[in-house]
Chains A and B, each alone.
Chain A
């Protein structure tokens, strides 16, 4: 951030005060919880209700990693280009680095920590292990979260179609052939 916390809090407080005084739409503003400019956000993460007070510029990625200690979701490029931060919001794969955390109010977020059934790994996780679908592992949680959606897509059948569907997840180690093999196996199971 380029703005200091003091600058930010001072300005945000002034803005919210101005709105309260002049705007009949005050209720339409997601009212800051207090004069710090933080916004209360309630959502479910891996089935659990969570409530956070957040600066609106915090991304879902940072909220998961820094506030909820769910560090399985990785920060790669932080620009929506690599896919390492892929999570599911309301059962759709999205990039948590380009999602402002305040926008998931009331939604269901699923991270890599939430796809297994207790100690029973998700079929996609098992397939990645069986096919050695990674080397360094940094992109793997994003790959798996993408693949969990891709294996359900009926129109993704051929190898080329799987590669295309997975093109938003970059692997710098180049584990692509094994990732492809893992997805093919998981799709059949």
Chain B
């Protein structure tokens, strides 16, 4: 690990003032410390934000508000989260291990970096880590990589599970910076790699995530988070689907769908949602609608299986969320 100076702050303003080019905010540390050990991240100042007043889980008129420093395990176990949006709890419990969930914060989870092996190996080229150096994943081992939202510069997937649930539900993130605060839809918070995969989100220098706000949709209690992976636990997704569906008299009234493990960012499946609305809630409808999930997909040498896996996962998640079987 490279040397750095360590700073703590007890107010958001102090933390923002301590931030400078080359500094990093530290919450749970499960991404930052890991990547510092690998020399993938080399901040010269680490600002410990764990004492900031960014905690609390509250139900307000505007929605379910989750402080950025709430830990994954606390959010997953929170009775309000489980009652209002069980999908969030499920996505969290299918992430990482008990120890990591006790450590990792919600803000940090949204900021976690890709698990692409080339990104994590400083002896490899990587456009995300070293812009312009190239992308070995395009022609190398790319079984775990993205099929949606990719570019000729980067095909890395986004690793978060709960971000997929948040994007499905239309969550927003409240950001704090030196010039005040702003609120951004989480879906727009993440950027497509394009020719600048080193820029993963809209956070400006020294800005941090203060809070996540999730709209309350009474019908979205009928929801699920389906995660498909190489082993049953403690593994990242090959494909995941967050699904909430409102079925009345056997007809889909409304639906929210997003996928993980297949996109360069958490992937909202709007075309599938539109195809489902007004349809009869049966497997055939779900399968027909799921076809449009892979429009524009760009499979690589080793991950073409993800196109059919994604479609089947969507059908299974919808059947589960709709209680059809």
Q: Measuring CB to CB, which residues of chain A are less than 8 angstroms from any residue of chain B?
A: 1-3, 7-8, 11-12, 15-16, 19, 23, 25, 28-30, 32, 37, 39, 55-57, 59, 78-80, 83, 86, 92-95, 98-100, 102-103, 146, 149-150, 163-169
Contact A168 B6 (CB under 8 A): no
**B301: interface (CB < 8 Å):** no
Could you list some 11 contacts between A and B, CB below 8 A? Answer: A3-B2, A15-B5, A25-B18, A56-B4, A56-B46, A78-B37, A79-B34, A94-B103, A163-B233, A164-B233, A168-B98
* Residues of chain A with a CB closer than 8 A to B29's CB: 98-100, 103
* Residues of chain B with a CB closer than 8 A to A100's CB: 6, 26, 29, 33, 46
Contact B6 A99 (CB under 8 A): no
Contact A30 B7 (CB under 8 A): yes
Query: With contacts A28-B18, A55-B3 known, what are 14 further pairs, Cβ within 8 A?
Result: A3-B2, A3-B3, A12-B5, A23-B17, A28-B7, A29-B18, A57-B3, A80-B33, A92-B102, A93-B99, A94-B99, A94-B103, A98-B29, A164-B232
Which of chain B's residues 1-38 have a Cβ closer than 8 Å to chain A? Answer: 1-10, 14, 17-18, 26, 29-30, 33-34, 36-37
CB of B287 to closest CB in A, whole Å:
30
**B133: interface (CB < 8 Å):** no
Partner of A28, one of B8, B26, B46: B8
Partner of A93, one of B6, B37, B46, B98: B98
Contact A56 B233 (CB under 8 A): no
Partner of B99, one of A16, A23, A59, A95: A95
Q: Mark B255-272, 1 if CB is under 8 A from A, else 0.
A: 000000000000000000
CA distance A78 to B14 in the complex (A): 32
Contact B5 A16 (CB under 8 A): yes
- Name the residue among A2, A28, A98, A146 with the largest chain B CB count within 10 angstroms: A98
Contact B99 A102 (CB under 8 A): no
CB of B173 to closest CB in A, whole Å:
24
Q: Which 10 pairs between the two chains have the least Cβ-Cβ distance?
A: A168-B97, A56-B6, A167-B233, A8-B3, A167-B234, A57-B1, A92-B102, A29-B7, A98-B33, A15-B5
CB of A77 to closest CB in B, whole Å:
10
Contact B17 A86 (CB under 8 A): no
The A interface, classified by DSSP as helix, strand, loop or mixed, is mixed
* Residues of chain A with a CB closer than 8 A to B36's CB: 57
Query: How many B residues are at the interface, by size bracket?
Result: 35 or more
CB of B81 to closest CB in A, whole Å:
14
* Residues of chain A with a CB closer than 8 A to B48's CB: 30, 102-103
**B288: interface (CB < 8 Å):** no
CA distance A29 to B34 in the complex (A): 23
CB of A136 to closest CB in B, whole Å:
21
CA distance A93 to B101 in the complex (A): 9
Contact A102 B6 (CB under 8 A): yes
CB of B236 to closest CB in A, whole Å:
12
* Residues of chain A with a CB closer than 8 A to B234's CB: 167-168
CA distance A29 to B17 in the complex (A): 11
CA distance A94 to B50 in the complex (A): 15
* Residues of chain A with a CB closer than 8 A to B17's CB: 23, 25, 28
Given A30-B7, A83-B99, A165-B98, the answer on whether A1 and B1 have CB atoms closer than 8 Å is: yes
CB of A6 to closest CB in B, whole Å:
11
Partner of A168, one of B26, B33, B99: B99
CA distance A165 to B101 in the complex (A): 11
Contact B98 A79 (CB under 8 A): no
**B121: interface (CB < 8 Å):** no
CB of A120 to closest CB in B, whole Å:
26
**B96: interface (CB < 8 Å):** yes
**B39: interface (CB < 8 Å):** yes
Nearest opposing residue in chain B for A168, CB measure: B97
CB of A137 to closest CB in B, whole Å:
20
**B100: interface (CB < 8 Å):** yes
Given A3-B2, A57-B1, A103-B50, the answer on whether A168 and B7 have CB atoms closer than 8 Å is: no
CB of A126 to closest CB in B, whole Å:
22
- Name the residue among A7, A102, A103, A165 with the largest chain B CB count within 10 angstroms: A103
CA distance A7 to B3 in the complex (A): 9
Nearest opposing residue in chain B for A78, CB measure: B37
